[in-house]
Amino acid sequence: MMTTVKQAEKFAAKTLTEDGLIDFFSGIGLIAIGYFWLIDNSALSAIMPLAIVNFWKISRKRISEPRIGKVTLARGKKGNVRAGRTILIIVSLTLAVGVILWLKGGAGDVQGTWYYPLFAAGPSLFIATITFFSAIYLKCPRFFGYAGWIIAAAGITIWLGEGPARALMISGVPFLVVGLWTFAKFLSAHPKADQ
């Protein structure tokens, strides 16, 4: 059976989410960013996304790819995908660091004002937007649910008078739980070739 480019692209997108590692590491990242923010360590909050991406890549290479293989795109396609991902990562990290620094620098000035809830929801809304577009890019409907959960968690924690740190920590829990469950299913469905 001949595989078309569209089928290969669909398979490549599926392999990025099938193992649950992207969910798991996203959950760890959100919980860690929220925790570091809570203890007032914005430097660790800012570098956490980069660290998480690297842990995810290493885990995929060592755990998932030996079980399901790796999709290699044609040279022209590979360059386009890599350039798109690189731009997305750079823009996301720049915006994330900017939002964190902006909020850390001015949160004291706006606390108690009528617009503080919008200010405190900023990081969660930013991450929910990235999660929403990730659902489209990865063709993974569960990420729409995550985006909704992030917005709900932000609303609830702000309504309770908490800032963005706890909202981020609560937002990470479903990613973590679903990621572990999906990873367990993946391991049972795809034993290593030598087992």
Examine residue 91 and state whether it is found in any structural domain, yes or no.
Answer: yes
Domain extent for 147: 18-68+75-189
Examine residue 63 and state whether it is found in any structural domain, yes or no.
Answer: yes
Taking a C-beta distance cutoff of 8 angstroms, is the pair 33, 45 a contact?
yes
Cα(45)–Cα(48) distance, integer angstroms: 5
Residue 74 has pLDDT above 60, yes or no: no
Per-residue model confidence as pLDDT tens digits over 135-145: 888 888 999 99
If you average pLDDT over residues 142-159, what whole number do you get? 92
85, 132, 167, 168 from 38: Cα distances, Å: 30, 25, 10, 10
Examine residue 5 and state whether it is found in any structural domain, yes or no.
Answer: no
In the chain, the number of structural domains is 1
Closest CA to 157 of 147, 167, 149: 167
Residue 67 has pLDDT above 60, yes or no: yes
Q: Which of 24-33, 52-61, 81-90 has the lowest mean pLDDT?
A: 81-90
Examine residue 7 and state whether it is found in any structural domain, yes or no.
Answer: no
Examine residue 9 and state whether it is found in any structural domain, yes or no.
Answer: no
Examine residue 27 and state whether it is found in any structural domain, yes or no.
Answer: yes
Examine residue 1 and state whether it is found in any structural domain, yes or no.
Answer: no
Q: What is the mean pLDDT of the chain?
A: 80
- The pLDDT, as a whole number, for residue 164 is 84
Closest CA to 26 of 57, 58, 49: 49
- The pLDDT, as a whole number, for residue 118 is 72
Examine residue 100 and state whether it is found in any structural domain, yes or no.
Answer: yes
